[in-house]
Structure 1
Amino acid sequence: MSDVIIACQTLSDELNLAMQQTGVRYPVIWVESDYHNDPNQLRAKLQREIDGLDGVHNVLFAYGCCGSGLVGLKATSANLIIPKTEDCISMVLSRPGEAFIRPKETYFLTKGWMEGSKSIFVEYEHALKRYGETRARRLFDVMLKHYRYFMLIDTGAYHVRGCLDKVQELAQNTGLQTVVAEGGLWFLKQLLTGPYEQDFCVIPKGGTVDISHFGLAQAVPVRQAIQGGV
């Protein structure tokens, strides 16, 4: 076994389609989206997965920096290859060669995020059952006071229509507007196929992920890390 993918469950639709389109079929270790709620828990979970690997050359991460949840990871068993993105949302909204500017006042959604066990939809239903409609709306008015839009990202990996009605219903209940934005899979495809010259940080075996790796400098020359068997 040469390469393994560690991926957030929220990207399952997108990563599965990217593998189908590229023909790359590395084993995938799926990690539950709930770990995103605490960067320290996410880091600890990912480190356990890295430490448990054997006979692997590269670990490909379908993650971004994710609230610094990946900062501090140690490449104990293999080289680590990580997209230089803020998070999964940045990954599916980025364009090749363009800097991603996150729209302000926007709450981002994909099918994968909507299906999470602690998604905003689950939280709203829980609030309705516990407090009733009037108080639930007041709570969400406070929670979403800095937002104006729900943005559903059309990554091409699922039917947007099946999600849009649900988003619009929550938007109506919380006073936000709904917009649909075009996303894409190019970042995930490049994660699968390379090259890793510009948009990825490469941490050689024995190294540690630093915040500077997400945009300031390459960890090591790419060919040395990927081909040289560091």
Structure 2
Amino acid sequence: MRLRCIACQVLTHPLQAAVACSPHSVDLEFVPLGQHDYPKKLREELQGRIDAVDGRGYDAVLLGYGLCGQAMDGLKARSIPLVIPRAHDCITLYLGSRERYQREFEDHPGTYWYTRDQLEHRTGEAAALSMGSGSDEELRNAYASHVQKFGRENADYLMEVMGAWRKSYRRGVYLELSEGDSDGTIAQAEAEASRRGWTFERYATDLRLAHELVNGGWLPAGNRDFLYVPAGGTVQTAYNECILDTCPR
């Protein structure tokens, strides 16, 4: 198969590694980190990229995203099917299953997640927010206001001093790849967690979902881990354990 994968930058290394082992021809396209904090904007961005792929000979468009604040809700497949992991956000793709994600969320709700890609690609506002889906709209508005009034560097400093965005966090966890992580990014995550008064842990990742996404593990036509949206279909939020569903043309 010839596949197009449009994904968040936070999954750069996992997907590059997965594509290198895929039996299919997979073209990767990455979207800048942090846009999941603005679901409507991200939805519009992704729809534009999906539309641009239409008619170019691909068998499917793969999205390296989860629900991401309902950013997937309303996306439309044109003449090419869409495939999306049934996940709340990218953390699930690092942990390997919705069940593991749910356990972590229930047992340690105040967790700030770090990965190599999150640390390497974050800039500006994205540097002050978690890679998960729980960012607060008021915080984003306050940050934008500070940038406008005082400039980006001063806004970053104010947010750090005020500590408003990190009140709900108690623990930092680095999601460690089996290969490719540098001691520098791990040390950076640990230093940040220590400075903010959090406990720090390192978790082994399970990249099963990333590999199945680019290997065609969603065939035939989707399963419990992936939503398959046929040509002409539309993504909709499923308010149950499936997370995502589709409605016909």
Secondary structure of the corresponding residue to residue 34 of structure 2 = helix
Secondary structure of the corresponding residue to residue 27 of structure 1 = strand
Q: Is the 8 A contact 1:153 1:183 kept in 2?
A: yes
Identity of aligned residues (%): 26
Q: Which residue of 2 aligns with 1:138?
A: 161
Deviation at 1:219, TM superposition (A): 4.1
Q: Which residue of 1 aligns with 2:70?
A: 68
Q: Is the 8 A contact 2:37 2:69 kept in 1?
A: no
Report the Cα distance in structure 2 between the residues aligned to 1:26 and 1:132, rounded to whole angstroms. Answer: 38
TM-score, normalising length from structure 1? 0.82
Q: Which residue of 2 aligns with 1:223?
A: none
Return 5+ residue gaps in structure 1 as ranges: 221-229
Q: Which residue of 2 aligns with 1:7?
A: 7
Q: Which residue of 2 aligns with 1:35?
A: 35
Report the Cα distance in structure 1 between the residues aligned to 2:40 and 2:234, rounded to whole angstroms. Answer: 15
Secondary structure of the corresponding residue to residue 72 of structure 1 = coil
Deviation at 1:30, TM superposition (A): 1.5
Correspondent of 1:159 among 151, 172, 181: 181
Report the Cα distance in structure 1 between the residues aligned to 2:42 and 2:3, rounded to whole angstroms. Answer: 21
Please say if 1:117 is aligned against 2:143.
no
Return 5+ residue gaps in structure 2 as ranges: 130-142, 144-149
- Residues 151 and 160 of structure 1: CA distance in aligned 2, closer, same or farther (over 3 Å): farther
- Residues 98 and 216 of structure 1: CA distance in aligned 2, closer, same or farther (over 3 Å): closer
Please say if 1:150 is aligned against 2:155.
no
Q: Which amino acid aligns with 1:201?
A: L
Q: Is the 8 A contact 2:235 2:244 kept in 1?
A: no
Larger CA deviation: 113-122 vs 198-207: 113-122
TM-score, normalising length from structure 2? 0.76
Report matched runs for 1:181-200 at 5 Å: 181-196=203-218, 197-200=223-226
Aligned residues: 217
